[in-house]
Amino acid sequence: MNKPVKSSESATPQATALRKRAEETVREKTVQSPENLKALSPDEVRQMLHELEVHQVELEMQNEELRREHEKLDAALARYFDLYDLAPMGYVTLSEQGLILEANLAASTLMGVTRGDLTRQPFSRFILKEDCDIYYLHRKQLLEAHSPSSGQAGAPQPLELRMVKQDGTTLWVHMDVTAAQDADGTPECRIVMKDISARKEAEEELRKSQEQLRDAHRLAHIGIWNWIAETDTVTWTEELYHITGRDPMIPAPTFAEHSNIYAPESWDHLKESVDRAMKTNEAYQLELKLIRPDGTTRWVIAFGGTTCDNQGRIKGLHGTVQDITERWQAEEHLKETLEKLRKSLIGTIQALSSTVETRDPYTAGHQRKVSNLARAIAQEMGLPYDTVDTIRMAGIIHDIGKISVPAEILSKPGILSSIEISLIRVHSQSGYDILKDVGLPYPIAEIALQHHERLDGSGYPQGLKNGQILLEARIISIADVVEAIASYRPYRPALGIDVALEEIEKNAEILYDGEAVEACLRLFREKGFEFESRES
């Protein structure tokens, strides 16, 4: 026979109460029906006692499990309160009237008040006065939306406003406000809030930077655009509407519709550049003429480059458009002014040339012929236009210094004496002295000075060599020699063009510039160049 199992000493009050109730029930049944016990056999009594002892053990085991669950629950609650209090976010619960019912440490820190002093305080006390209306309206709408009659469940509603700490410090706070009910069904608000002052300061700095950038773009007349190729969607900044003269309330035109903005030739250039950029990822820069709705025209410089997705695929273009109308007009005016000055300069140079030729009738037209040949040589060598034009003007007056040479020496027939030759050689220096302060484009005065210099240093007046001699002077010196040998002079008859060409050919790279000599020979031997008696 099994011995009775004793009750555990660690039994909880709930288990003890349960045992007493069971014993009372047994006694009641025994008193009411004592004959039932008399009718039981000894084995039946032992079996009953055994079952009671088993039930007792089961109850004690259940009681132990319940105790452990209570301990887990207490630990979980402790962790919850630790997380609640130490959370980086502020948690506040408000009554229906807006009073603070509870707040964690982060919330009390945000408001600069201890948790104990926050209880039953109006939350609006910590809202900046200028933002109170925002808070009241938000709270009213939230509670109305969650009223029991509405049948709608509360959802967190965001709100950003300025709060004031106990010490008067202002800060920006982001809130997620939820309308709820407590255990008794009383409405309340639960707020999760975070200090966003740093973000707001950054946003303010960004806003100021963007305003400054917009102002800079406006002052520089720069508009920014973006184009998404797949949808043909174009966006413009405000300044671009101003540049094109279009209504900013109307969406920017698609890329295809830009054909109505630009002049036909400019549109062709733009479309070609865009197509090439989309295929080759090549940026472009163009000067374009656009036509405003009122018919006026503007000149712009357009920059464009591709934009790509995360996989590096080209998805469109973006860029800038800058109004350069004033600059373009100024440049056009400058070009017109320069052209007028150029024509005036040419007239002055021709007048100077005519002065020399008047005093030296035997060499009449020499400077003009040298100028034409020198210009043709420079063009044959592929020199820039400005260099060619400088050579042409320098050729016209390269002998201006002969004004200082007595006319009887210039027109003297026969052989000149060494003294007379010396007087004539002075004309290079005299020409430089005349031209250096006239304000002619550089290097016309230096060309006049150097046009008798030779590569080996045998020339005059300075005996310069090779690279010391200006290219323009080297070219004019060849044209000067060819024209002089081929033409009549008072002291000798014309020797002809073949003799002249032979002279420069045999002395190429010795006295004369080799590349210029080759160009001169090609002009006469291959391209039929001839000296003309009158300027074309």
* pLDDT digits 0-9 by tens, 398-411: 888 888 888 778 77
- The Cα 396–Cα 370 span in angstroms is 7
Q: What is the mean pLDDT of residues 413-440?
A: 84
CA atoms in the 13 A half-sphere facing the CB of 345: 18
Report the range of poorest mean pLDDT among 60-64, 88-92, 148-152, 204-208.
148-152
Beta sheet of 284-291, edge-to-edge order: 233-236, 222-228, 314-323, 297-308, 284-291
**pLDDT (0 to 100) of residue 441:** 67
* pLDDT bracket for residue 5 (50, 70, 90): very low
- Has residue 96 got a pLDDT over 50? yes
pLDDT confidence of residue 170 = 93
The side-by-side arrangement of strands in the sheet containing 157-164 is: 100-103, 90-95, 187-195, 170-181, 157-164
Q: Is the pLDDT of residue 451 over 50?
A: yes
* pLDDT for res 417: 84
CA distance 398 to 484: 13
Structure tokens at 378: 């420079």
Q: How far from chain centre, in Å, is Cα 369?
A: 56
Q: Return mean pLDDT, the chain.
A: 83
pTM for the model: 0.45
Tokens of 487: 């033409």
> In the chain, what percentage of residues exceed pLDDT 70?
84
pLDDT in tens, 241-270: 999 999 988 888 888 888 899 999 999 999
- Rounded distance between C-alpha atoms, residue 509 and residue 529, angstroms: 23
CA 271/CA 286 separation, integer angstroms: 11
End-to-end CA distance of the chain: 148
Task: Identify the band that residue 535 occupies on the pLDDT scale cut at 50, 70 and 90.
Answer: very low
Which region among 84-93, 110-119, 294-303 has the lowest average model confidence (pLDDT)?
A: 84-93
* Residue 206 in this model has a pLDDT that exceeds 50: yes
Give me the pLDDT at residue 13, please: 63
Query: What is the pLDDT, as a whole number, of residue 177?
Result: 92
Mean pLDDT, to the nearest integer, of 433-441? 79
pLDDT value at residue 51: 75
Q: What is the C-alpha radius of gyration for the chain, rounded to an integer number of angstroms? A: 53
pLDDT > 90 in the chain, percent: 38
Is residue 469 pLDDT above 90, yes or no? yes
